[in-house]
Structure 1
Amino acid sequence: MEITGRVTADAIVRTLSDERQVVNFSVAVNDSYKAKNGERVTQTEYFDCSYWIGTGIAQYLTKGSVVELSGRVSVRAWIDGEGQAKAGLNFHTSKITLHGGANMKAAAQKETDTTAMEVHEAVVVNQDGAADDDLPF
């Protein structure tokens, strides 16, 4: 199954008692449809996700990032501390594709600024204002 949604909070890397590590994060997936009365209805489903393949991806799974996930869904049910029945959706992720977000844009902009600065610093200007390069054209 594939889902696309926004990460609801920064991912957390957990280390289990047997030293295995898992990346846990949550994703909100919106779906909208037109009701019989013509009104537009939007539903949001939340998935608690786990990714066991590697922990390096956790730094990119930040709140607001758009991700496309492949994997399988399972349902869990429990009784909360007040005796109320609860249920949730788990998504056992096997593939993650990052589509961007606020933090990724800021990181890309920082990289662009750094690259521009390095290029700017590498240019030597002659006294007459022309760039000093050894190119004959």
Structure 2
Amino acid sequence: MEIAGRITANSTVHKVSNDKQVVNFSIAINDNYKPRGSTEVKGVVTYINCSYWFNAKTAEWLKKGVLVQLFGRIGLNVYCNQEGKPISSLTFHTNNIKILTFAKKTELIENGVMSSIAKRKKSETADDLPF
């Protein structure tokens, strides 16, 4: 299954066990439709919680405003709350992430991404190039 949308907040990394980490984030998918018999276009936003288990370092790129294309499957989480009432939610379990566009430069600076990119570029020298 494939979905695309903008990340709504910076991703978070949670340690599940000694050797497992999961990257959690949420995306917003904008859609619109025209109700029958109306000329007005209505907008609808769907928010989807996502998880990515393969590489926790990916979280540094998954910042608010980034447009991503995700490939994976939908999973159902079911549990009982403190009152014993069953609660459920859907999560998109991502196995491949493609960044389509980054957030605006001002958002990247605020989120600290630009400083990590600058650090990497400083540490690279001409000797590091493969050609």
TM normalised by structure 1 equals: 0.67
Aligned to 1:11: 11
Structure-1 separation of matches of 2:88 and 2:45: 15
Unaligned regions of 5+ residues in structure 1, if any?
115-137
Deviation at 1:41, TM superposition (A): 1.4
Unaligned regions of 5+ residues in structure 2, if any?
122-131
Question: SS state of the match for residue 58, structure 2?
Answer: helix
Residue identity opposite 2:9 in structure 1: A
Structure-2 separation of matches of 1:63 and 1:39: 30
**Identical aligned pairs, as a percentage?**
37
Residue identity opposite 2:29 in structure 1: V
Q: Is the 8 A contact 1:46 1:89 kept in 2?
A: no
Going from structure 1 to structure 2, the CA distance change for 1:41 and 1:80 (only over 3 Å counts) comes to: farther
Aligned to 1:31: 31
Going from structure 1 to structure 2, the CA distance change for 1:2 and 1:80 (only over 3 Å counts) comes to: same
For 1:1-137, list aligned pairs within 5 A. 1-36=1-36, 37-77=38-78, 87-99=88-100, 100-103=102-105, 107=114
Question: SS state of the match for residue 62, structure 1?
Answer: coil
Give the CA RMSD over aligned residues.
2.8
Residue identity opposite 1:102 in structure 2: K
Going from structure 1 to structure 2, the CA distance change for 1:83 and 1:12 (only over 3 Å counts) comes to: same
Deviation at 1:12, TM superposition (A): 0.7
